[in-house]
Amino acid sequence: MKLAKRLDVVKPSPTLAITAKAREMKSKGIDVVGFGAGEPDFDTPSMIKDAAKKAIDAGFTKYTPTNGIVELREAIAARIQQEHRVSYKASEVLVSCGGKHALYNLFQALLNDGDEVVIFTPYWVSYADMVRVAGGVPVLVETSMDTGFDPSPEQIRKAIGPKTRAVIVNSPSNPTGAMLSRRTLETVISCVKGTETLIVSDDIYDKLVYRGKFENVLDLDPSLQGQVALVNGASKTFSMTGWRIGWTAGPQALISAMQKLQDNSTSNPASISQKAALGALTAPGVGDEVEKMRRTFDERRKHIVGRLNAIDGVRCFDPGGSFYAFPYVGELLKRTAPGASAPLGTDDKLIDLLLEKHLVAAVPGSAFGAPGYMRLSFATSMEQIDKGCDRIAEMAKSLK
- pLDDT per residue as tens digits for the range 364-381: 999 999 999 999 999 999
Whether residues 14 and 58 fall in one domain: no
Report the distance separating Cα 92 and Cα 76, nearest Å. Answer: 10
Q: How many helices (H) and strands (E) would you count in the chain?
A: 14, 14
pLDDT at 8: 85
Residue 94 has pLDDT above 90, yes or no: yes
Summary mean pLDDT of the chain:
97
* Mean pLDDT, range 227-241, rounded to an integer: 98
Q: What is the pLDDT of residue 317?
A: 96
Buried b (16+ CB within 10 A) or exposed e, 169-201: bbbbbbbbbbbbbeebbebbbebbeeeebbbbb
- In 3D space, the residue among 182, 187, 250, 253 whose CA is nearest the CA of residue 219 turns out to be 182
Does 252 lie in the same domain as 232?
Answer: yes
79: left (phi over 0), alpha (psi -120 to 50) or beta: alpha
Considering the domain architecture, whether residues 23 and 103 belong to the same structural domain is answered as: no
CA 109 to each of CA 134, 248, 255, 287: distance values in angstroms, whole numbers, following the listed order: 8, 13, 9, 34
pLDDT at 23 (0 to 100): 86
Please tell me whether residues 269 and 312 are part of one structural domain.
Answer: no
Mean of pLDDT values over 44-59: 98
pLDDT tens readout for residues 308-335: 999 999 999 999 999 999 999 999 999 9
pLDDT band at 16 (very low <50, low <70, confident <90, very high): confident
Looking at residue 21, what is its pLDDT?
A: 85
- Specify whether 109 is located in the same domain as 236: yes
Same-domain check for residues 58 and 23 = no
Sign, CA dihedral 147-294-239-276, equals negative
Q: Three-state DSSP class for 332?
A: helix
Q: What is the pLDDT of residue 168?
A: 98
pLDDT at 15 over 80: no
| 184 and 307 share one domain | no
What pLDDT shows up at residue 22? 84
pLDDT of residue 18: 82
For residues 256 and 373, membership in a common domain is answered with no
Q: How far apart are CA 186 and CA 72, in angstroms?
A: 31
| pLDDT > 90? residue 90 | yes
Same-domain status, 12 and 80 = no
Q: Looking at the 3D structure of the chain, how many domains does it have?
A: 2
More confident residue, 26 or 191: 191
Q: Are 177 and 292 in contact (CB under 8 A)?
A: no
Average pLDDT over residues 220-227: 98
Burial class (CB in 10 A: 0-12, 13-18, 19+), 1: exposed
Check which CATH number belongs to the domain holding 179 and give it: 3.40.640.10
Cα 238 to Cα 173, 207, 285: the distances in Å are 18, 9, 12
User: Which pLDDT score, from 0 to 100, does residue 298 have?
Assistant: 98
* Side chain identity, residue 303: H
Do residue 65 and residue 161 come from a single domain?
yes
pLDDT tens column, 163-222? 999 999 999 999 999 999 999 999 999 999 999 999 999 999 999 999 999 999 999 999
Q: Which of 253, 284, 315 is the last residue of a domain?
A: 284
Query: Which string of b and e fits 308-346 if b means at least 16 CB within 10 Å?
Result: beebebbebbbbbbbbbbbbbbbebbebebeeeeeebee
Instruction: Please list the residues that pair with 248 across neighbouring strands.
Output: 94, 231
Q: What is the mean pLDDT of residues 25-49?
A: 94
Task: Choose one of 247, 264, 284: the last residue of a domain.
Answer: 284
Domain boundary (258, 284, 310) is at 284
Q: What is the pLDDT of residue 375?
A: 98
Mean pLDDT of 342-364: 96
Q: Does 217 lie in the same domain as 187?
A: yes
Amino acid identity of 114?
G
Same domain, 61 and 34: no
What's the domain range around 19? Answer: 5-43+287-398
**Chain CA centroid to CA 193, Å:** 25
In this predicted structure, which of 11-25, 29-43, 309-323 has the lowest mean pLDDT? 11-25
Global pTM reads: 0.96
Domain of residue 327, CATH code: 3.90.1150.10
pLDDT at 14 exceeding the cut of 90: no
